[in-house]
Amino acid sequence: MAAEMALIKPISKFNRTLPKFRNPITPKPCYSYVKMSSSAPTTSPKKKSTAKPKKAIKETLLAPRFYTTDFDEMETLFNTEINKNLNEAEFEALLQEFKTDYNQTHFVRNKEFKEAADKLQGPLRQIFVEFLERSCTAEFSGFLLYKELGRRLKKTNPVVAEIFSLMSRDEARHAGFLNKGLSDFNLALDLGFLTKARKYTFFKPKFIFYATYLSEKIGYWRYITIYRHLKTNPEYQCYPIFKYFENWCQDENRHGDFFSALMKAQPQFLNDWKAKLWSRFFCLSVNSTSCLYVKNYYFHRTIPKLSLTVKNYMAGLRDNVSQ
């Protein structure tokens, strides 16, 4: 996941704790040398002297949430015996795309990161730390949800399950890359602790579809807009992570395309008047959250350094979305 859905409140009384993950998550190694796990990391006493101070995310209205859903209903929705709208050929094609793993070698760090971080001082340094923390939490939220969906749908629909697992690979890589960025500031986000300690927001499957689809697509446009702006104004490139956004956003775009295919297979979530109203509500909520996030974290704080104004950011976003 790339954008946040922080402002969307739980729909009802549901606010469940983490479903227990039976399998420790062991992602495919990637070139940023990130290890990601949904269980708490074990801390070796020998490494005490080199360990970065671990941080917990500051809980605010805009903090990205973690999500859980009704996995039994998900199993029914993706059962090919029950749901004849599932286009198996389309999902097979999507699976091949994910297996190609276009960004396997993309997230390679270099010495520019630490040098750039050392130059960021004063309030701007704190702003960058918050930006990295928040983005890392949002990506990690996607990792947890997709990993569990991959596990739970394995028997019902192995193709869809594998796509979810491969999307969790991508999100783990994104979250890990951002957490590595925090190490440039001598910090690390304690993702194992977050996994266990944070509250999970429950959404019914149809709300998961609306929210994650929008979140992925908005994340895509945000990344590409910032990337393009900095490409034409390289003098404002103050931290190298933005250089990675071009390929990175393609992962988010593929995730959004997958959710688009999922929703096509569930026409009951799209075609009646209730579905249309809910779609509009989520469109408004996810966009408002994203705009507030962008306003608070990019424009009032990070973006002045990048010289991207609210006006030209929104113009860029509008042009891209209308394409």
Chain residues that interact with Fe ion, rule: CB under 5 A? 1-2, 139, 171, 174, 216, 252, 255
Residue type at position 288:
S
* C-alpha closest to that of 107 among 195, 30, 207: 30
User: How far apart are CB 271 and Fe ion at their closest, in Å?
Assistant: 26
**Can you tell me whether residue 268 is helix, strand or coil?**
helix
207 class by beta-carbon count within 10 Å (0-12 exposed, 13-18 middle, 19+ buried): buried
Closer CB to Fe ion, residue 62 or residue 124? 62
Closest by Cα among 224, 229, 226 to 247: 224
In the complex with Fe ion, the residue whose CB is nearer, 218 or 230, is 218
The contacts of residue 259 (CB under 8 Å, 6+ apart) are: 209, 212, 213, 216
Nearest distance in Å: CB 69, Fe ion:
16
**Minimum gap (Å) between residue 218 Cβ and Fe ion:** 11
Q: Which is nearer to Fe ion, 174 or 229 (CB)?
A: 174
C-alpha 74/C-alpha 149 separation (Å) is 8
Q: Which is nearer to Fe ion, 184 or 216 (CB)?
A: 216
Is the Cβ–Cβ distance between 117 and 40 less than 8 Å? no
Q: Return the number of the residue (109 or 174) whose C-beta is nearest Fe ion.
A: 174
The span from the CA of 110 to the CA of 32, in Å, is 10
Q: How far is the CB of 94 from Fe ion (least distance, A)?
A: 14
- Which residue type, as a one-letter code, is found at position 246? E
In the complex, the smallest distance separating the C-beta of residue 226 from Fe ion, rounded to whole angstroms, is 14
If the CB atoms of residues 120 and 212 are measured against Fe ion, the closer one turns out to be: 212
Residue 259 Cβ vs Fe ion, minimum distance, rounded to whole Å: 9
SS3 65: coil
Residue type, 25: I
Query: To the nearest whole angstrom, how small is the minimum distance from the Cβ of residue 129 to Fe ion?
Result: 19
Tell me the pairing of strands 54-55 and 188-189. parallel
Per DSSP, which regions of 174-280 are E strands?
188-189, 200-202
34 versus 120: smaller Cβ distance to Fe ion = 34
